[in-house]
Amino acid sequence: MSKRTVEDSLPRFFHAGKMTEFDCLTFIYHELIIAVLSRQSNGVSMKFTMRLAFYLFALVILSPAHAATGTTFSGVHTSRHGIRSFHGYVPSSYQQGVPMPLVVALHGCTRDSYHYEKRTGWSKLAEQQGFIVVYPSQSILSNLLLCWNWQLSKNQHRGRGEPALIAGITDYVRSRYTVDPNRIYVTGTSAGGVMANIMTVAYPDVYAASSIIAGCEYLCDPNAVRTPEESGEAALIEMSVRARAVPTILWQGTADTVVPAPTSDRIIGQWATIDGIDDIADTTEYGQVPNGRAYIHQTYQDSAGNTLIERYLIDGAEHTYPGGCDCDPLVDPKGPNATRLSWEFFEEHPIP
């Protein structure tokens, strides 16, 4: 890891208490291990790098754990596709041999997996509702802004690039804990939302349903040269013999200038093409968060009345996570609770 990378990255994570010492030490430790394994020390001697990694690891071990009741885990996944760190939470209700759902949560740009855990509340909900959650983390060696590199062709297909790494982390959790194979879900925000969409297209046999916050359609086309139907057709080709309707819930702010609101229409068009339904909402409800934002909730159903797509269009919301804590400019506590509502959607949609 270069001196510039460390100095440029750390202030952002320490800023305003957004990361505990434990989180930061763990993050640095994982990045050092990735740097060593990638042989990208950039001029720093291997001996010094490993010595620093050892001291940081000792500090992590001696630091207090996150979980008050459940347990946490972390690691580094390596394969021919690359190296990525991850951490996760196992609720206190977990019993070996009793299948439990798994949620894979993908952070957005400029925030790492520890930020995402704290700002979304997925681990707290996991303790309350009884499911495991894992947070794969992008490496600053692959993207200095910590964005998932969804725009690269190698990261848009099964068995390649970052999708293969995320699937590998999912497999690791499945190998270590008793996970219900029909109740594995994926969610993500912004770049993580785009990647969550890619994961359900590339691995529809693994992920039962998805929740996409401010994401984009498959083979994301910001210039809208490709139609949503063409995106859906490309997705069907990628899904191949594994093609099926993967239930999806979407979250979009009307004031988002990073991912404009019509982008969610394109995701709906993509999945409607895959699901064999039209892109006209079957139900539309208007809601209001107490002392918060108004929103439109829509559902899209098949001929049997099964909801395959849901969307929350949130009035006045910008490029933020809906309903999280009041502790980060990329979180909007005035929005509907995306974490809780996504889990309720997941509970209704195991793999048939």
Q: Given this model, what pLDDT does residue 63 score?
A: 39
Mean pLDDT of 91-96: 97
Which tens digits make up the pLDDT trace of 147-160? Answer: 999 999 999 999 99
Higher pLDDT, 1 or 285: 285
The third-level CATH classification (topology) of the domain covering 69-347 is Rossmann fold (3.40.50)
* Lowest pLDDT segment from 23-37, 72-86, 263-277, 315-329: 23-37
pLDDT at 11 > cutoff 60: no
Task: Say how many C-beta atoms besides its own lie within 10 A of residue 337's C-beta.
Answer: 18
Q: What is the DSSP track for 28-75? A: HHHHHHHHHHHT--TTS-HHHHHHHHHHHHHHHHHSPPS-SSSEEEEE
CA 86/CA 93 separation, integer angstroms: 22
**Which residues, listed in sequence order, are joined to residue 257 by a DSSP beta bridge?**
none
Domain boundaries defined on the chain? 1-64, 69-347
pLDDT at 172 > cutoff 60: yes
State the pLDDT confidence band at 46, using cuts at 50, 70 and 90.
low
Which tens digits make up the pLDDT trace of 54-69? Answer: 444 444 443 334 445 8
Share of the chain above pLDDT 70, in %: 81
Mean pLDDT of 16-43: 48
Share of the chain above pLDDT 90, in %: 78
pLDDT at 231 > cutoff 80: yes
pLDDT at 43 > cutoff 50: no
pTM passes above 0.75: yes
